[in-house]
């Protein structure tokens, strides 16, 4: 049954789902390894992210894997959101955008509170699909202080034309019209999806060749959020001297799938407090991440 305007209005009107969660330094260390840190065991800067006896830095984009609820405290909103998305064509869904706003450096381990809601639904029109924006606001359980807020935009290609609102969707960040100020090549590993899956995303599309073939790919593709983390790794390394405390936001638009083992070339531009970037696949000369925006202090 197709979605209706009433379904959307109900989901948007629901109070956020409040949940509790927690993560340990195993989660934050594993995430850093999964996005390529620590390959040089003598790199002092990266050791601060992957070896707790050297440092306790956490990659800001790790927030995408750390906010898994342990216990739901209020579930009415969750039920309404699940009802909305159960009516949409999941097989035709793509992860369109990912954004994170960071309010303080992520601790290596923490107990957290998570407030989740549908922040927006936009109808692009018949044959053009629909956008659903999900938001999770994460705070520290110890003092209630905001930690980060993440938003993802899911593009449901087959669900446009239901009569919903078309205006108000996020506008892509425009890249500067000049040569990049810096370029960083991030070599991939053929087993990278296997490692990243251990961070929590067990979608077989990224590991099972049979599932990948049914989805139209000759081989499994890399997680989009792994590429998101690799881009963050490149910006930290190239523009911020590995100082994650300078980063306050990291937004991307996904453009093309990445295959494990490919080299992701991150092109960067710095203008005041904004680092713009995009990612190009060296082996195929295609843009995999576009309209990237990193905000800094």
pLDDT score for 77: 59
Domains and CATH numbers, the chain: 5-156 (3.10.129.10), 182-296 (3.10.129.10)
Helix (H) or strand (E) holding 258: none
d(Cα 137, Cα 77) in Å, to the nearest integer?
14
The H or E element containing residue 152 is strand 146-156
Q: pLDDT for 225-239, tens place per residue?
A: 999 999 999 999 999
pLDDT > 90 in the chain, percent:
85
Dump pLDDT digits (tens) for 108-156.
Answer: 999 999 999 999 999 999 999 999 999 999 999 999 999 999 999 999 9
pLDDT for the residue numbered 285: 97
Tell me how long the chain is.
Answer: 297
Q: Which residues are catalytic?
A: 201, 206
Task: Give mean pLDDT in consecutive 10-residue pieces for the chain, a chain of 297 residues.
Answer: 87 92 97 97 97 98 92 61 82 91 98 95 94 96 98 93 92 97 98 97 94 92 97 98 98 97 98 98 98 98
Taking the C-alpha atoms of residue 295 and residue 231, their distance in angstroms, rounded to an integer, is 14
Q: What is the pLDDT of residue 84?
A: 86
Contact 230, 193 (CB under 8 A): no
């Amino acid at each position: 049954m197709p979605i209706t305007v009433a379904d959307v209005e109900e989901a948007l009107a629901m109070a956020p789902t409040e949940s509790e969660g927690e993560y340990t330094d195993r989660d934050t260390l594993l995430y850093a390894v999964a996005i390529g840190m620590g390959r040089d065991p003598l790199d002092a800067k990266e050791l601060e992210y992957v070896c707790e006896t050297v440092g306790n830095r956490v990659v800001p984009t790790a927030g995408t894997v750390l906010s898994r609820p342990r216990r739901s405290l209020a579930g009415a909103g969750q039920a309404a959101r699940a009802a909305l998305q159960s009516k949409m064509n999941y097989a035709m869904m793509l992860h369109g955008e990912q954004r994170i706003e960071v309010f303080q450096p992520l601790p290596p381990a923490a107990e957290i509170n998570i407030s989740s809601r549908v922040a927006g639904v936009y109808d692009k029109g018949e044959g053009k699909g629909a956008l659903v924006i999900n938001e999770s606001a994460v705070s520290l359980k110890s003092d209630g202080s905001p930690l980060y807020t993440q938003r993802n935009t899911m593009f449901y290609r087959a669900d446009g034309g239901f009569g919903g609102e078309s205006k108000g969707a996020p506008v892509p960040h425009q890249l500067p019209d000049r040569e990049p100020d810096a370029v960083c090549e991030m070599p991939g590993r053929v087993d990278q999806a296997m490692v990243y899956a251990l961070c929590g995303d067990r979608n077989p599309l990224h590991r099972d060749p049979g599932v990948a073939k049914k989805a139209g790919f000759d081989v499994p593709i890399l997680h989009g959020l792994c590429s998101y983390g690799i881009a963050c790794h490149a910006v930290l390394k190239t523009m911020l001297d590995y100082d994650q405390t300078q980063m306050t936001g990291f937004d991307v638009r996904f453009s093309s799938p990445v295959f494990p083992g490919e080299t992701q070339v991150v092109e960067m531009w710095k203008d005041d407090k904004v680092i713009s970037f995009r990612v190009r696949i060296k082996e195929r000369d295609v843009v995999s991440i576009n309209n990237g925006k990193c905000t800094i202090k």
